[in-house]
Each structure stands twice: as C-alpha cells, then as structure tokens.
Amino acid sequence: MANLSPTVPDVSPRVDRTSDRPQEACGVYGVLAPGLDVANLTYFGLYALQHRGQESAGIAVFQGEQVRLHKEMGLVSQVFDRDILARLPGDLAVGHTRYSTTGSSHVCNAQPVVLMTRLGPMAMAHNGNLVNTVELGRAMAERGRSSVSSTDSELIAMLIQEAVDGGAGWPEALTRAASCCRGAYSLGIGTPAGLFALRDPHGIRPLVFGRLADMEQDGWTISSETCGLDIVGAEFHDTVAPGEMIWFRPGAREPDRRRWCEATPRLCVFEMIYFARPDSNFFEESLYSYRRRLGTILAEESPAEADLVIGVPDSGIPAAIGFADGSGVPYAEGLVKNRYVGRTFIQPSQGMREAGIRLKLNPLPDVLANQRIVVVDDSIVRGSTSRKIVKALREAGACEVHMRISSPPVKHPCYYGIDTDTQDQLVAARLPLERICRHLGVDSLAYLSQEGMLRATRQQDYPFCTACFDGQYPIPPNKEPGASKLRLESGQGPPS
C-alpha cells in the first residue's frame, strides 16, 4: 500500500494572477541512487528549479514496493525540513514544484500524483499542459473513472494506471498513455521497476538527465534543466529527446532508451528567453550567453541615443549587458531587486499595489538623475509592471526613458504550459506600437525581431515553438466552447 502523508489545510494565498510576468507550469525532478539519500538530493534539485513554480512542492520516495509522499502548498523550503526528509527513506524519488495552469491552486492538485496499479505504486511529475484535457476527462467519465484533482496531470497518470491494470508492462503502459495525450508533457515517473523519463513528440518543455558521480553503482538524475543536475554534482549526460522514453533500472549500467514517437522538435523558445535559469545549458551553452546575444542584436536593430543602459532584474540583465556591448552605451545598475520577496504569506492589499508599493524593485536616484536611460526587459505581457517601472525611473530623475524588449511582441496565448492571458489582455495584441509607447510612458519602444531572436540561438535549422509571437501552433488548441484557454476554472475539474 502507498503510505501517504496526511493532507494539510490549504492556508496559502491564491496565486497572484495579476503578475505581468509569464508564469511557467512546473519543474520535474527524479533520482535513482541506491545507497544515497534520494529525498535530500531531490530537495536540492527542486530548490534549483524553484523558479519554475512557487505554488506547491512535493516528493515521493520509493523503498521497494512502498512509496511515501509529502506535498504541500508553498515554496520548497517551506514544504520540507530535516525531519520531513528523514521520514522519506528509499532508493528512488520523484519531485515536483508547481505553478498551476490546468487545475486550480489547491493542495489536492499538488504533485507528484501517486496512484496504485497492478504492478505496485506509481508517482508521476508533469511539466506542460495538454490541449485535450476536456476530451480525456469525458472519456474517463464514460469508463466510470473519476479524478480527485482538477489537473491534466492526474488524467495522464490515470491513463497509465488503466493500461497497467489492463495487462501492460510499465514501458508499454507509458507509451500507450502518452499516445492519447495532445499537448506538452515532460514526465518523471517513479515505479518499483525503476525511474522513467518521457517527453512529448515535439519536446515543447525541456527535460535532461545526468549521472551521479563517485558512486560504487550507477545513479541517475532527471531534471527540467541542467541547473538541477549541477546542484547535486551530477554530470550532464544527455537531453531526453522529443518523443523519447528512458528507463533507468536499478543496477543497470546504462539506461534503456527508446523513441516511441517521431515528430518535428518544437522546443518552446520562451524557455530560452525567460523561463529557464541563465546558468542552465541549452544546445551546449548557457542561456546567459544566448540572452546576452539577444541584447546585442537588439542594439543593432533598434539603437537609442542614451547615457546609460539598465536591465530589469533579474531576467533582463543579460540582454541589457548585451545591448550595452552592441551600442557602446555604458551599462549601469539602476534598479535594485529585493531578492527575498517571493510568494509571501502576507500580501499587500490591491490598494497598496495600485499606490505603487515597491516590494520587488527600487530605483537608484543618484545613478538615474538627469540621465537618458535605455531600460531592457525580456518581454511585455499586459504592460502593467513595465508602466510602473517607467514611472519609478522618471520619479528617480531620469530625463528620458527608452524601453527595449529582447523578444518579439507577445500577441497570442500559450496552450502548452505557460500562463499567459487570453488574447484580449495581451497589450501587443490590442494596441499598435505607438499606443503601447504612450501607455507605458516611454520616449521610445522597440521589440527584437523574430528573425533576430532565432538568429541569436545559432540553431538555424531548429524549428522552435514561437506560437506566442506568431500564432503558429504546432498542436492545434482545443476550440470547444466553454473550454478554458489554459486551466479549468476552480471547482470545474474534468467531468467525473
């Protein structure tokens, strides 16, 4: 039987959907390392992936046929402590840190999802978003199966459970379930037979794996990003290919790799622009290097006469340094970020937000006074945060503010695991450039071209997913009336 920790009351605040930053779905982590403290390794891995989701965290640990699970709302450091980790012994662990896209913000939707099967327990962590959630939910309901949560992740786990209980082994069950899913899904799955990693045919969300060094027997780690390998000293081995399933078995020197589906790779380019950490590697280089090139190309395309270049911390800084390199205008730190502000339990009131409470960013008047400023950021979604930043820069004494964005205008919603707005709330979809410029209160505004964004990747033949910029969706979204863009409304999970 699965030994599950008691469900705790959901005392955390609702996620702030008014944020002007795109939000990632989640981070996936897994460890197979007999003889090591896999719960602690997974804790540190999730800590490295905290930027991918600050809403809930969970770890499931296998000890033979038994699985222990602990998950709660909150940051990784709030959910786990030494005592909790000490109660999670085992040789295999699967971890998850979440931001809700499909499914509301409640502890029942936290992951990993743990289900019992004919072959023993299964724990699954999912990054991404399905576009056929409603269809799958209805099919499950017609077969008399009901879900506990309101997430597409549980539906994937239920499909695997159904295949196993119908007589399939683990590899067949995983690929059979995956073939029913449309959308983005990078999965980490723990079973008594070992650890599995699986990626959707297009590989929209990232997933990598590495070998734990200095061990008498082989240990393996899977992670949404390479920074999750670095933190535990794992050596990067390879990327889980789009449409690939990898089986890490206890005692095996090498994993069993098989391609279960062939399709055109379509990695989300926003992972490279914003979501992933700058110290994570994509295409054999750090994203810091890529983001700096974005700024250099932006300076070539849209120069500005100015005295200083500043970046919006933290994600806009590499591009700002690149812009300074490309333009010859000096780089300076003009905005200071309070790095201890995260998902706090005491939230300012809406009135305080509207009054401009500076929880996260504060300008430096002695740097900005009487200066012509180029402020570089990675993206604009609604425009509300950018407008407040511009206002603060002018109040600090900047005589001109020119905004440069190191990505093209976001004009289309994402259906694959990014919580962007519906199209009528995306400022670049509603307003022409001149009106956005007036709305933000800047002297000039320019975005990086899509050609420049792709040229900076140095992957000339790689077909990235750029749907949020150009509306070219690799997987057609569900257009059924009443179906939410990204998540089922609170209290309206898949039909049961």
Question: In angstroms, rounded to a whole number, what is the distance separating the alpha carbons of residues 27 and 42?
Answer: 11
* CA pair distance 124, 159, nearest whole angstrom: 12
Vertex 185, ends 422 and 12: CA angle to 5°? 65
Whole-angstrom distance, CA of residue 142 vs CA of residue 135: 11
The β-bridge partners of 115 are 122
The yes-or-no answer on residue 26 being catalytic is yes
> How many CB atoms are located within 10 Å of the residue 277 CB?
22
Alpha-carbon distance 490 to 15, whole Å?
Answer: 12
Helix (H/G/I), strand (E/B), else coil: 259:
strand
**418 SS3 class:** strand
Query: By the 8 A CB rule, do 415 and 200 touch?
Result: no
Cα–Cα distance between 346 and 354 in angstroms, integer? 17
3-state SS assignment for residue 72: strand
Q: Taking a C-beta distance cutoff of 8 angstroms, is the pair 59, 46 a contact?
A: yes
- The Cα 48–Cα 28 span in angstroms is 11
State the Cα–Cα distance between residues 414 and 417, nearest whole angstrom. 7
Strand, helix or coil for residue 361: strand
Sheet holding 234-239, edge to edge: 3-4, 66-73, 56-63, 92-98, 26-32, 219-223, 208-212, 234-239
Mapping DSSP to helix (H, G, I), strand (E, B) and coil, where does residue 461 land?
coil
Which residue has tokens 């750090």? 286
Please give the distance of CA 313 from its chain centroid, rounded to a whole number: 18
Could you give the residue ranges of the DSSP H alpha helices within 276-330?
287-301, 317-327
User: Of 26, 181, 227, 414, which residue is the catalytic one?
Assistant: 26
Q: Which residues are catalytic?
A: 26
